[in-house]
């Protein structure tokens, strides 16, 4: 029997419309590429997004078209999100840190009809314009009087002039909530990039869940600074979450150095932020060097890669900023879990609390997770056993765009599909998940698994070590054994033997790396993660002293 | 173009399953009718709910069947919610304060197949059993060794024995999310009761929205006491919201007096509660008389009817408990709006903040609202103009069960249906809504509207007045003029002239009632609201001195 409630689709346009209607004069503040600060309101943003949507429709855009962006976090990018998604087309955010060849490949794979870009990326656009035949129009996201000229870019138009062709009479269409609204490619370390396509439904449900008190805890009492880029899984949903709750939104533009972030946090009364550990290291360093404190900043979500425990402690103890450790991926919209304490933890000693907060945390309602062995058998939630992490939920991908890579799901006995995250994790009896490795990085030594992340975290906690990576290398008896590769801090000295001795008593003895290699640098990918594939290539011919 | 995210329905069974899996040992504590305290966990509750669902299926229950409850807030009622809703049937919660004749009428209208009841309501069941031919089985919600016998009730079974027939192998079916899961009749003051039927989708979306920081702000750090009955619009969603966030759940059973509530709040570390003003008056009085303070209790949602400003102040200033004023109705699941401050209010003086908090607040994301005149024209959001309040959203009803009362919606120029709440309200420029009256109670004097609620609130703020109601009575020149009807506090004295003078300077002069009538009591309905229809009948022949 069908119930009798209104049948209203969940649409991203409703998010901005809600903010414009109910939080109309709450602010969106952006640091622009030009360096100045731009301020306007949700009502202004909604009006411009509708005009922009109308301009796209007038220029021939239809439901389902893909429209690309190469842009920093700012108000025009926000307008693109809503104009494109709202009209029923798909906003395809591209990571500008990829190689231009890769960007061109992605644009062609997506079949983008328009590409809007910040001036920083003009050289990229000039390099790829002739290689992207599906793009009819290139849109320079800048003021009309700063519009660049380029004979390498056919049909280059100005964002403001383009937008001005649209009418404010435009009304958002009532779409099927399973219509695509966003597309983001993973910069896979192997094979071609693959696209995850979000729906209106998945985006709105993700925003509801992410705003909850035990997740981001976002509210109209917050001033929120998304440091994580809008080209990186939709800035973890913040451009959708903030209008949902009416929070003030502060965009940092391209300036992500410690000084610029600190100044923006203080001048805009930022209460809350989100980003990857690398960015926070810069902010912490700047604040320490200048003996600064935060006036309003009280919590931040850290994800993308595991947050070093030392960084969590520094934020918390030195600066009074609560760190919320989170886990997710492009294929999960991205938020899957966050680590927050519960009522029952109140009486735990501080150290035990800290251990919980260092985990990647609890599944948000909507997401279910489990860990399985290589045969797909579910493993116990004891906080020790680690296995391949599988997830499912209404904001988890079921297949990649254009069927790339076939059906990625693993099916359980009930025929339900689970997405294999490629992560290896433990889950404890209270449901807290902790990533111990990537499936392809975990070291399988004599049938037992060794977590490279644990070994790396311990290595970087040594005062002489700046960066560390652990890879498995072939061993005749154990199949694989761990090799520790490190970059020393400038001026610091440490020996192989001292480093290996440093592990004593901190891990099971058989986890201790068989050797240490000192290098000048460790290869990083476009999102700042260690490229272990490269590292494994580099040490392909390496022989362990124990072999 | 369809996006590529997993197509998982939003189901109420997922809520309890999530809690059992991710917050398995968090507690559900219930004060039982027998007076003792029952404790178990979400994992226990989930197991028993699945057995109960299986028992219903084995007893012939099919998707879409209606199964009734006449019960207080407790763990068995919670199990009924999930067993019945989870299997695809519809849990029909009945208000036991209704007259038995009305209860029988509702059971027959719903066509309930089973009715489960707490022992308190055995006399009601005995009175109606022979009049309810659709009910095949009556279930006494009590321990097996306390099972009552009654020759007036055919096929009377024991809850525990019934549940024991079910298997823990039962798995929740994957239903269409638009399947009905709950049914609640409004105890309409005119005409027959009418049923609102919730869906799995509407219930889950409502739970997400209601848990948000600017709504209830519910979290796994909370111990939550739903004082509002589970037979009254699903205790405002708390039996669904608490498992979503993993909060400890504390059920008060039948004992809603100040002493019992106070003791439960303290012994179970309750942080948060929800209820109607009447209940809170009892708690405040008990705490004051015994000079008590709260240890953990820090906020409460008050709704159902407007919270007197004096009560808000008392909670806040005397007891440090934040009052969150809320608005909703059976037809809106129920939460439509809550009043919380925003970042931009930080610098307002305390009194201005208080004025905002006294409003019914901001629409939750999902709900849109507007005010219209009697011709359906939208009225401005200026905080002064008042009009009929219309709402829409995915947890707002579109029609009553079995089409009672026809199509209730009002359609706008875009063909979108809005539900007329029957309330009269203002909305200010910031989107804060304030109820000024019921549409049928507002007094239309010479074409202008006078809010009876404002006049009543002022009257009860007079120290000699215990209860007040204002009704419109016929006036030859102005059509209608207000008449103030009051009950004095025991031992207090006040004259007609003193009361009328009390309004001076507090409202527009022409709003002042034309007369005052002193009475011994004011008629109340089953949910504790003033029955103005009765009052109008009582004063049908009354002539104003100004007429």
Residues with Cβ within 8 Å of residue B235, at least 6 apart in sequence: B73, B226, B228, B229, B274
Q: How far is B518 from chain A (nearest CA, A)?
A: 43
Q: What is the pLDDT of residue B188?
A: 61
Taking an 8 Å cut-off on Cβ atoms, the answer to whether A2 and B414 are in contact is no
Which residues of A394-452 form beta strands (DSSP E)?
Answer: 410-411, 417-427, 433-438, 443-445, 448-450
Q: Which of A22, A170, A178 to mutate to test the interface with B (most CBs of B within 10 A)?
A: A22
Mutate to test the interface with B, among A2, A6, A268 (most CBs of B within 10 A): A6
pLDDT averaged over 10-residue windows placed end to end, chain B, 547 residues: 94 98 96 94 98 98 98 98 98 94 96 98 98 98 96 97 97 97 82 92 98 97 97 96 98 96 98 92 94 97 87 94 96 97 94 95 96 94 95 97 93 93 95 91 87 89 92 91 94 94 91 94 80 90 87
pLDDT tens readout for residues B28-44: 999 999 889 999 999 99
Q: For residues B206 and A526, which has the higher predicted lDDT (pLDDT)?
A: B206
Residues of A with active-site annotation: 186, 331, 444, 449
Instruction: Say if residue A449's pLDDT is above 90.
Output: no
CB atoms closer than 10 angstroms to residue A120? 15
Nearest CB to A4 within list B18, B197, B247: B197
B1/A431 touch (CB, cutoff 8 Å), yes or no: no
DSSP, res A358: T
Residue ranges of A 155-194 with Cβ closer than 8 A to chain B: 171, 176, 178-181
The alpha helices in B344-491, defined as continuous H runs, are 350-357, 452-460
Is pLDDT at A35 greater than 90 in this prediction?
A: no
pLDDT of residue B134: 98
Residues 292-311 of B with CB under 8 A from A: none
> For chain A, how many residues are written?
547
Expressed in angstroms, the distance from the first to the final Cα of chain A is 68
DSSP A157-185: EEHHHHHHTS-TT-------TTBEEEEEE
* Interface contact B515, partner A, CB < 8 A: no
A29 vs B: CB within 8 A: no
Q: Which two tokens stand for residue A61?
A: 């855009």
CB < 8 Å from B in window 492-511 of A: none
B87 touches chain A (CB under 8 A): no
List pLDDT tens digits, range A388-441: 999 999 999 999 999 998 999 999 988 999 999 999 999 999 999 999 888 888
Instruction: Average the pLDDT over A477-498 and give the result.
Output: 93
Predicted confidence at residue A182, as pLDDT, reads: 98
Report pLDDT digits (tens) over A228-285.
999 999 999 999 999 999 999 999 999 999 999 999 999 999 999 999 888 899 999 9
Contact A199 B5 (CB under 8 A): yes
Q: Is B476 exposed, middle or buried (0-12, 13-18, 19+ CB in 10 A)?
A: exposed
> Least CA distance to A203: which residue of chain B?
B5
pLDDT confidence of residue B309? 87
Chain B residues with CB under 8 Å of A414 CB are 171
- The single residue listed with the structure tokens 């879409």 is B64
Average pLDDT across chain A, whole number: 94
Does residue A334 have a cis bond before it (omega within 30 degrees)? yes
Domains in chain A (CATH in brackets) are 12-323 (3.40.50.12780), 443-538 (3.30.300.30)
Residue B393: list chain A partners with CB under 8 A: 6, 8
Residues 6+ away with beta carbon under 8 Å from B494: B462, B464, B465, B488
What is the H or E stretch that residue B277 is in? helix B277-289
Q: What is the 3-state secondary structure (H, E, C) of A456-471?
A: HHHHHCCCCEEEEEEE
Q: What pLDDT is attached to residue B256?
A: 94
| Closest-approach residue (CA) in chain B for A207 | B208
To the nearest whole angstrom, how far is the Cα of A97 from the nearest Cα of chain B?
Answer: 25
The arithmetic mean of pLDDT across residues A14-22, rounded, is 97
**Does B365 lie at the interface with A, CB-CB under 8 angstroms?**
yes
Segment A82-119, tens digit of pLDDT: 999 999 999 999 999 999 999 999 999 999 999 999 99
Nearest Cα of chain B lies from the Cα of A531 at a distance, in angstroms, of 28
Q: What pLDDT sits at residue A188? A: 61
Distance from CA of B148 to the nearest CA of A (A): 34
Nearest to A179 among B1, B197, B398 (CB): B1
Distance CA A327, CA A325 (A): 7
Place of tokens 């001795």: A501
Res B136: pLDDT:
97
- Residues in chain B with CB shorter than 8 Å from the CB of A13 are none
Interface test with B, best of A2, A4, A271 (most B CBs within 10 A): A4
The residues of B that are catalytic are: 186, 331, 444, 449
The SS3 call for residue A39 is strand
Q: Give the pairing type, strands A90-93 and A66-70.
A: parallel
**DSSP per-residue letters across B461-508:** TSTTEEEEEEEEEEETTTEEEEEEEEEEPTT----HHHHHHHTTTTS-
| Residue in A180, A341, A394 nearest the CB of B8 | A394
Q: What is the pLDDT of residue A427?
A: 97
In chain B, residues with a C-beta closer than 8 Å to the C-beta of A25 are: 344, 429-430
pLDDT at residue A263, rounded to an integer:
97
Q: What percent of chain A has pLDDT over 70?
A: 99
Q: Report yes or no: B402 at the A interface, CB cutoff 8 Å.
A: no
Predicted confidence (pLDDT) per residue in B423-454, tens digit: 999 999 999 999 988 888 889 888 788 989 88
Closest-approach residue (CA) in chain B for A174: B416
Asked if the Cβ–Cβ distance from B392 to A8 is below 8 Å, we say yes
Token pair belonging to B84: 């019945």
pLDDT at A189 over 60: no
CA distance A285 to A258: 7
What are the tens digits of pLDDT across the range A196-205? 999 999 999 9
Pairing of strands A272-275, A299-302: parallel
- How close, in Å, is residue B64 to chain A by CA atoms? 5
Give the chain A residue whose CA is nearest to the CA of B431. Answer: A22
* CB < 8 Å to A340, chain B: 219-221
Residue A194 is predicted with a pLDDT of 94
Residue spans of beta strands (DSSP E) within A413-545: 417-427, 433-438, 443-445, 448-450, 465-475, 479-488, 515-518
Interface A:B, Cβ pairs < 8 A: 241
Which among A26, A212, A400 has the least Cβ separation from residue B212? A212
- What residues of chain B lie within 8 A of the CB of A23, using their CB? 342, 430-431
Q: Using the beta-carbon criterion (under 8 Å), do B23 and A430 form an inter-chain contact?
A: yes
Q: What is the C-alpha separation between B263 and A301, in angstroms, rounded?
A: 38
CB proximity B412 to A under 8 Å = no
Interface of A with B in 442-471 (CB under 8 A): none
- CA dihedral over A16, A21, A26, A31, signed as positive or negative: positive
Smallest CA–CA distance, residue A483 to chain B, in Å, is 36
Q: Does A217 lie at the interface with B, CB-CB under 8 angstroms?
A: yes
Residue A292's Cα: distance from chain center in Å?
Answer: 28
The residue of B4, B215, B341 whose CB has the most chain A CBs within 10 angstroms, and thus the best one to mutate to test that interface, is B4
Answer whether residue A187 shows pLDDT above 80. Answer: no
The answer to whether B119 touches B149, Cβ cutoff 8 Å, is: no
Q: Between B2, B179, B417, which is nearest A3 by CB?
A: B179
Mark which residues 367-396 of A lie under 8 Å from B by CB.
368, 392-396
Q: What are the two backbone dihedrals, phi and then psi, of residue A159, each rounded to the nearest 5 degrees?
A: -55, -50
Query: Helices (H) and strands (E) in chain A — how many of each?
Result: 17, 26
Distance (Å) of CA A334 to CA A280, A303, A356:
20, 10, 21
């Amino acid at each position: 029997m069908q119930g009798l409630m209104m049948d209203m689709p969940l649409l991203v346009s409703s998010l901005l419309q809600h903010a414009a209607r109910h939080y109309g004069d709450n602010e969106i503040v952006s640091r622009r590429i030009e360096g100045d600060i731009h301020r306007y309101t949700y009502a202004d943003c909604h009006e411009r997004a509708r005009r922009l949507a109308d301009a796209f429709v007038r220029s021939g855009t239809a439901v389902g078209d893909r429209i690309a962006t190469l842009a920093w976090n700012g108000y025009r990018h926000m307008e693109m999100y809503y104009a494109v998604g709202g009209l029923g087309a798909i906003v395809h955010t591209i990571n500008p840190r990829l190689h231009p060849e890769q960007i061109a490949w992605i644009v062609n794979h997506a079949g983008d009809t328009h590409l809007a870009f910040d001036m920083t990326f003009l050289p990229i656009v000039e390099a790829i314009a002739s290689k992207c035949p599906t793009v009819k129009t290139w849109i320079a996201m800048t003021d009309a009087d700063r519009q660049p000229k380029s004979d390498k870019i056919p049909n280059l138009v100005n964002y403001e002039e383009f937008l001005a062709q649209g009418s404010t009479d435009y009304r958002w269409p009532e779409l099927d909530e399973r219509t695509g609204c966003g597309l983001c490619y993973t910069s896979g370390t192997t094979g071609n990039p693959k696209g995850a396509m979000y729906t209106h439904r998945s985006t709105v449900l993700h925003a509801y869940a992410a705003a909850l008190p035990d997740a981001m805890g976002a509210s109209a009492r917050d001033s929120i600074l998304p440091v994580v880029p809008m080209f990186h899984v939709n800035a973890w949903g913040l451009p959708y979450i903030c209008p949902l709750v009416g929070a003030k939104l502060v965009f940092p533009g391209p300036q992500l150095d410690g000084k610029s972030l600190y100044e923006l946090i203080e001048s805009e009364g930022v209460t809350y932020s989100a980003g990857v550990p690398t960015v926070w290291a810069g902010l912490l360093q700047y604040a320490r060097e200048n003996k600064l404190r935060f006036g309003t900043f009280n919590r931040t979500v850290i994800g993308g890669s595991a947050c070093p425990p030392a960084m969590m402690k520094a934020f918390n103890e030195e600066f009074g900023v609560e760190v919320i450790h989170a886990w997710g991926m492009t294929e999960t919209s991205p938020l899957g879990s966050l680590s927050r304490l519960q009522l029952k933890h109140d009486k735990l000693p501080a150290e035990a609390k800290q251990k919980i907060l260092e985990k990647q945390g609890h599944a948000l309602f909507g997401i279910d997770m489990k860990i399985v062995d290589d045969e797909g058998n579910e493993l116990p939630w004891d906080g020790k056993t680690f296995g391949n992490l599988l997830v499912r939920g209404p904001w988890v991908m079921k297949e990649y765009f254009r069927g790339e890579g076939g059906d990625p799901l693993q099916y359980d006995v009930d025929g339900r599909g689970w997405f294999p995250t490629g992560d290896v994790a433990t889950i404890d009896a209270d449901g807290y998940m902790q990533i111990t490795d990537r499936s392809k990085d975990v070291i399988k030594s004599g049938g037992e698994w060794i977590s490279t992340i644990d070994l790396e975290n311990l290595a970087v906690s040594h005062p002489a070590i700046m960066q560390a990576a652990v890879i498995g290398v072939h061993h005749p008896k154990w199949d694989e054994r761990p090799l520790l590769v490190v970059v020393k801090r400038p001026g610091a000295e440490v020996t192989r033997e001292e480093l290996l001795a440093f592990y004593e008593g901190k891990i099971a003895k058989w986890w201790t790396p068989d050797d240490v290699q000192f290098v000048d640098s460790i290869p990083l990918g476009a999102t700042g993660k260690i490229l272990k594939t490269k590292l494994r290539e580099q040490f392909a011919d390496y022989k362990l002293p124990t072999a």
